[in-house]
A and B are shown apart, each in its own frame.
Chain A
Amino acid sequence: MSEASAHAAQHAAPTGFIRKYVFSLDHKIIGLQYYGLALVAVVIGMVLSWLMRIHLIAPNWPIPGLQFLSKVGAPGGVMTPEYYLSLMTMHGTLMVFFVLTNAPFAAFGNYFLPIQIGAEDMAFPRFNMMSFWTTFVAFCILISAFFVGDGPPLSGWTAYAPLSAVGADSGPGQGLGQTLWGLSIFVFCIASLLGSLNFIATTLDLRTKGMTLARMPICTWAWFITACISLLAFAVLLPACLLLVLDRVGGTSFFIPSGLNISDHLQPHQGGSPLLWQHLFWFFGHPEVYIAILPAIGIVSHILINSMRKPMLSQKVIIYCMMSIGFLSYMVWGHHMFLSGMNPFSALVFSFPTLMITIPATIMTLIWLGSLYGSNLRINTASLFCLGFISMFVSGGVSGFFLAQPSIDIYLHATYFVVGHFHMVMGVAAIFAVFAGTYFWFPKMTGRMMNETLGRLHFWLTFIGTYCIFMPFHYLGLAGNVRRYSAFTDDFLVPLLPVHKFITYSALFTGAVQLIFLFNLIYSRFKGTPATANPWEATSLEWSTPSSPPPFDNFGGVHPVVYHDPYQYGVKSSTADYLMQTSPERAGETP
């Protein structure tokens, strides 16, 4: 192992600005680059959601400045129905790919996975650099769809064929915009594959002396398991996107059957199947949910243990749960397609493992709760976001129980119930973990503490705000409110408008609250209180580096030696109530 680490460290610390901060081989810089990209994407995605929410309660209200983004899509600032769908598509794509995949996994994973296993860098630093810059290219391709022809695609982040496959006939944005979407995701898949390979190789090959698999922190495990899921999931989406683009520009008919008459044009295609796209997409799409949430689970568990000053009731059980979720995630994609026209018997086959996924999820929740019992829980912004995560994970999780059942899905499918479900469990919960990770690791990444008062204010307002936004989505869904509508003109939807108004006001408020976080991030980066070497009295290797941020090779030319399990809290030691993994004290006594 040390041989491999030595090999990885062969490249010397760069001196020029470009090699140091732009085309950097340093996993820490690459992690920050991913974080920065996710931050840009989340700001755009959030502004898009604001625009959509405003439009939903006042479809004819001009939004000042929107006409500059698209003259056709928003003449005079009034959003057209098709532009609403375009913004929705971009919101979903940005959030799922560039925020929820990038922030908890690629950003924090890149920064901390090598440090937590005592490595000097990733196994393949050049691949690592390539994976970030490929992601960046994917991001640019996607954003460019705003500025071409008739704008971004309108077929949603799921891009169901044939709407997405037949080209400009099917509506505005379905021309070049949709092709750019397909290319962007294709490129994104390449980047994710490179990243996943790197994570797997690094975890397996570069662990330092004493760092057995069992001694890896929970978040390292989570990133490792996620990398395995991601490798298999993106490997399916990659060819799917390629086929989609070929259908659009190459005249093939993978997803388009014969006899389609679109906008009075008989389509020159035959032999394809729209369901094929759905199968390929969801074969990726469902594991993708866990690509977002498993790193979040890992980060939250890691921080929570530190805050509780005691290990989880069982670290092993949490890891086994994550593995079983990863495994099951490949058997459930059909639950997105209960009503798609596939054989109705298969609905039962997909429903059963979906219901089974609640078992590991419940076990993890109970272990978090049971571990809180009798702990010396320290309350700070990071731990509050972890507790908020548990609450959100539960709230978003129980609604999965409804959607897993095909009979109930008949009524709730494609309603706001689904929107509420995945925003809570995949969106908000994962973002809470990113916030927790940011507050917790900020001193390591910058050498300064984030402002605690602002942090807590941010937490309280965000916690209340997100519940106000997403809980009412479930009520709307129960009332049968259909999703992906740009205005509610149907008779039965009109009475629900007050609920939509409440949600819109909550969304504007909660979005504005995030400015506190952005301010705190920038302010603390330059003016924050300098951090001590181990401000949280933590045990894992990232707190054993000689400086914050760590030097180029992480440990200053030293190979750390690991003597303990990752979470020696609540133990008798000379330092207080914890033993760092690198502390030789009581070596051999603890596992």
Chain B
Amino acid sequence: MGGKIFAVLVIVIAIASAVPIITHTFLGASVTPPQDISTHGAEIDKQLDETMIEAGLSFLAAQLLLGVFVWQFGGRKAGPLKNFPGGSKYLVLAALLLVGAEAIALGAMGTKAWAKVYFQPASADALPIQAQAGQFAFYFRYAGPDGKFGAIHPEKIDEGNSNFFGLDPENDIPARDDITSGELVIPVNKEIHLMMHAKDVGHSFYVRELRIQQDFVPGLDLSLHFTATKVGRYEIVCTQLCGLGHYNMKAYLNVMSQDDFDKWLKAQSS
């Protein structure tokens, strides 16, 4: 009796688990990644879908087999024992070949998507923006008309006077025209070269729609490049535990047309 209940239960659970994945919704909430707005995201999504199919089939097959075998042999009157046809040899071979091939294929295909984000540097005409993460806010900096960023002086950081980056405009000429913003405003269809700087502890930059996530590491200035393809406003959230305000550390990514962006930039520098 217990064996039959288990068999039914495990099969019901397996199918019920798969339903939200297939229907994309659970208790009214969408459980699918939101629409991708980047040039590289399609490959990540494709990789995710393919993995979902392969992992999903393995999951269902294993749970169903477990259910079927327990149904068939669980709690039965002791009878003659049987061995799985072929013994362990074919099972080991199947795991080696199938899973091995699956792993190698997924690994190789996934490399492409990864490479697109990380293996090529930003192109020369990408728009450089500096992002700084600190407890518990993001700030963004544009180089201004001279195209040069002023140097960061951690000891000069003074949030009360809006000197978030610790600039020294008195002695540092490139710093004078730098534009600081609490929102990441970017032109659509233009490659962005994001230079990432952590002010205090580790943080992370995550925009679901952009399919981008990257840690800010103190002492290690990293860079990231991406192109947004859709005008709109999207949330940037911190995903690296950074302290008590972590849950509230966010900013917005504002993707504008090139014209709107130029106007915005002009308004900022005046």
Partner of B74, one of A358, A366, A379: A379
Q: Once A and B bind, how many residue pairs between them come within 8 Å at the CB atom? A: 337
| Contact string against B for A residues 477-489, beta-carbon threshold 8 Å, 1 for contact and 0 otherwise | 0111011111111
Instruction: Give chain A nearest CB distance to B116 CB in angstroms.
Output: 9
From 364 to 417 in chain A, residues with beta carbon under 8 angstroms from any chain B beta carbon are 365-367, 369-380, 384, 387-388, 390-391, 394-395, 398-399, 401-402, 405-408, 410-411, 413-415
Contact yes or no, A405 B106, CB < 8 A: yes
From 215 to 253 in chain B, residues with beta carbon under 8 angstroms from any chain A beta carbon are 215, 217-220, 222, 235, 237, 239-248, 250
The interface residues of chain B lying within 8 Å CB-to-CB of A274 are 202, 217-220
Contact yes or no, B201 A166, CB < 8 A: yes
Identify the closest chain A residue to B32 (Cβ): A478
The distance in angstroms between the C-alpha atoms of A540 and B22, with both chains bound, is 46
Identify the closest chain B residue to A497 (Cβ): B29
How many chain A residues touch B (Cβ–Cβ < 8 Å)?
115
A570 at the binding interface (Cβ < 8 Å): yes
The interface residues of chain B lying within 8 Å CB-to-CB of A372 are 66, 69-70, 73
Contact yes or no, A348 B213, CB < 8 A: no
From 103 to 155 in chain B, residues with beta carbon under 8 angstroms from any chain A beta carbon are 103-104, 106-107, 110-114, 117-119, 134-135, 152, 154-155
A549 at the binding interface (Cβ < 8 Å): no
Q: Given A344-B118, A394-B62 in contact, is the A359-B26 Cβ separation under 8 Å?
A: no
Stretch of A61-69, A115-123, A283-291, A463-471 with 4 or more beta carbons under 8 angstroms from chain B: A463-471
Partner of A170, one of B29, B79, B200, B248: B200
Q: Given A317-B92, A398-B55 in contact, is the A479-B31 Cβ separation under 8 Å?
A: yes
Contact yes or no, B110 A407, CB < 8 A: yes
Contact yes or no, A370 B84, CB < 8 A: yes
Partner of A314, one of B20, B59, B88, B211: B88
The distance in angstroms between the C-alpha atoms of A372 and B65, with both chains bound, is 10
Partner of B65, one of A355, A369, A377, A486: A369
Contact yes or no, A410 B211, CB < 8 A: yes
Q: Given A170-B243, A363-B95, A484-B246 in contact, is the A391-B66 Cβ separation under 8 Å?
A: yes
| Contact string against A for B residues 28-47, beta-carbon threshold 8 Å, 1 for contact and 0 otherwise | 11111110000000011001
Contact yes or no, A163 B243, CB < 8 A: yes
Contact yes or no, B248 A489, CB < 8 A: yes
B interface residue count range (under 10 / 10 to 19 / 20 to 34 / 35 or more): 35 or more
Partner of B103, one of A264, A356, A471, A488: A356
Instruction: Give chain B nearest CB distance to A565 CB in angstroms.
Output: 15
The distance in angstroms between the C-alpha atoms of A340 and B62, with both chains bound, is 34
The interface residues of chain A lying within 8 Å CB-to-CB of B202 are 160, 162-163, 274
Stretch of A254-262, A433-441, A513-521 with 4 or more beta carbons under 8 angstroms from chain B: A254-262
Q: Which residues of B contact A (CB under 8 A)?
A: 1-3, 5-6, 9-10, 13, 17, 20-21, 26-34, 43-44, 47-48, 51-52, 54-56, 58-59, 62-63, 65-66, 69-70, 72-76, 78-79, 81-84, 87-88, 91-92, 94-96, 98-100, 103-104, 106-107, 110-114, 117-119, 134-135, 152, 154-155, 157, 159, 166, 199-202, 204, 206, 208, 211-215, 217-220, 222, 235, 237, 239-248, 250
Q: Could you name 20 residue pairs across A and B whose Cβ atoms are closer than 8 Å?
A: A81-B245, A154-B241, A162-B201, A162-B218, A257-B220, A362-B99, A367-B91, A374-B84, A376-B76, A377-B3, A394-B59, A394-B66, A401-B106, A407-B43, A411-B211, A411-B213, A414-B204, A464-B13, A483-B239, A487-B248
Interchain residue pairs A-B with the least CB separation, the first 8:
A257-B219, A374-B82, A82-B244, A344-B118, A407-B113, A475-B31, A355-B103, A314-B88
Q: Which residues of A contact B (CB under 8 A)?
A: 80-82, 85, 154-156, 160, 162-163, 166, 170-172, 174, 256-264, 266, 272-275, 309-310, 313-314, 317, 339-341, 344-345, 347-348, 351-352, 355-356, 358-359, 362-363, 365-367, 369-380, 384, 387-388, 390-391, 394-395, 398-399, 401-402, 405-408, 410-411, 413-415, 456, 460, 463-464, 467, 471-472, 475-476, 478-480, 482-492, 495-499, 502, 570, 577
